[in-house]
Structure 1
Amino acid sequence: MHEKGFIPHSFLQRHVNNGASTKFWSDTWVGNSPLKYQFPRLFRLALNKECTIRDCWNNGWAVDWSRPITTGTNANHLSTLYNQLATCSLNDSEDTWTWSLGTPTFTVKCTRGIVLGTNYLPFHGTIGFKTL
């Protein structure tokens, strides 16, 4: 549902631990949107647009660029990006999803209510029970 656009990125966020299953550019893990939308110019210069956070970490941030970024607007964007990432650290636990709607834990009931614009679904049918 997330990939099809039913659930906006702003409702799902990655909690990064080891960075192995979180996409550096495509998942929302720092800020309120994926980094590819926060820094589109840098995203265009990235060699590996599908990299994970772990792929971009080597005792410091090590993103592979198509050319050196040393001056100008791109250098300013890169500085801003690295400042945002300065508080991030990796550990040995697996990455997890955080849900920001309704309950803190993702539930189908809550999601269905959001997608349909209501918190409940009226039932207009008949249910037959063979035994109770």
Structure 2
Amino acid sequence: MSLWWKVLKEVCEFESWGRRFEDRFKWKIENGKSISFWEDNWEGRGNLKSVFRRLCSLSCLPESKVAECGYWVDGVWKWNLLWRRNLFEWEKDLERQHFEMLQGLRLVLDMNDGWVWKNGEFSMYTINSAYVLLRGEPEGGINIGFVMLWKTKALPSAQVTAWRVFENKLATKGNLVRRGVELRNV
């Protein structure tokens, strides 16, 4: 994961946007060299460490990338998970379920893994799509009141003041107190 994505993830957790923001991205798996096999949610049902906790604890490579969990044979990907010990019968059932889940996934040798933004048009991340998400606006919708406000023929200063009223950003006594500004009786 690149430094930019690590910082973005930390900001999301710090600001309590957490899952709401992070769930809008999904891994697009290609060669598997960038994606953590057990930790990242690349399969689509949560990270494999949560889904197959027991198998992860038995893995020889619990911190491996997807590309380290198999090999290529004549251009076809073959899964090859290694365990620290022989599996018990009930663990073999888990292993079968795990392999069934992995069978539909195809890696691509010559392409790099990447992120796909699930919130934007054509799966493209835009500042506007992130802004809409973080503001909690409905999917695909911008508040029509704001659109109309900016189209009015009012002076820009009046438009900005109206926008601040809509956003509850005016320096009213209540807003100043909420922000921790000390007010003295005048």
- TM-score under structure 2 length normalisation: 0.57
Matches of 1:28 and 1:108 in 2, distance apart? Answer: 23
Matches of 2:25 and 2:94 in 1, distance apart? Answer: 25
Determine whether 1:45 maps to 2:38: no
Matches of 1:58 and 1:29 in 2, distance apart? Answer: 18
Q: Equivalent residue for 1:84?
A: 101
Identity, in percent, stands at: 24
- Report the CA distance between 1:110 and its aligned residue: 2.5
Q: Could you give the per-residue CA deviations for residues 110-129 of structure 1, whole angstroms, max 9, x where no partner exists?
A: 22443343468x6558xxxx
- Report the CA distance between 1:52 and its aligned residue: 0.7
Q: Could you give the per-residue CA deviations for residues 66-119 of structure 1, whole angstroms, max 9, x where no partner exists?
A: 2122411x2111111100111122221011112222442123332244334346
Determine whether 1:109 maps to 2:128: yes
Q: Which has the larger radius of gyration?
A: 2
Q: Of 3, 9, 29, which residue of structure 2 is paired with 1:2? A: 9
Q: In the superposition, relative to structure 1, how do residues 31 and 54 fare at CA in structure 2: closer, same or farther (>3 Å)?
A: same
Whether the 8 Å CA contact 1:13–1:27 is kept in 2: the answer is no
Instruction: Provide the aligned C-alpha RMSD in A.
Output: 2.5
Matches of 1:11 and 1:39 in 2, distance apart? Answer: 23
- Report the CA distance between 1:36 and its aligned residue: 1.0
Q: Which runs of 5+ in 1 are unaligned?
A: 126-132
Q: In the superposition, relative to structure 1, how do residues 108 and 48 fare at CA in structure 2: closer, same or farther (>3 Å)?
A: farther
Determine whether 1:26 maps to 2:39: yes
Q: Which runs of 5+ in 2 are unaligned?
A: 1-7, 73-77, 144-162, 171-186
- Report the CA distance between 1:47 and its aligned residue: 2.5
- Between the two proteins, the alignment pairs up a number of residues equal to 124
Q: Relative contact order (alpha carbons < 8 A, sep ≥ 6): 1 or 2 greater?
A: 1
Whether the 8 Å CA contact 1:10–1:33 is kept in 2: the answer is no
Question: Deviating runs (4+, > 6 A) in structure 1?
Answer: none
Whether the 8 Å CA contact 1:20–1:95 is kept in 2: the answer is yes
Q: Equivalent residue for 2:114?
A: 96
- TM-score under structure 1 length normalisation: 0.76
Q: Could you give the per-residue CA deviations for residues 15-57 of structure 1, whole angstroms, max 9, x where no partner exists?
A: 1111111111111111331111111111121232221110001
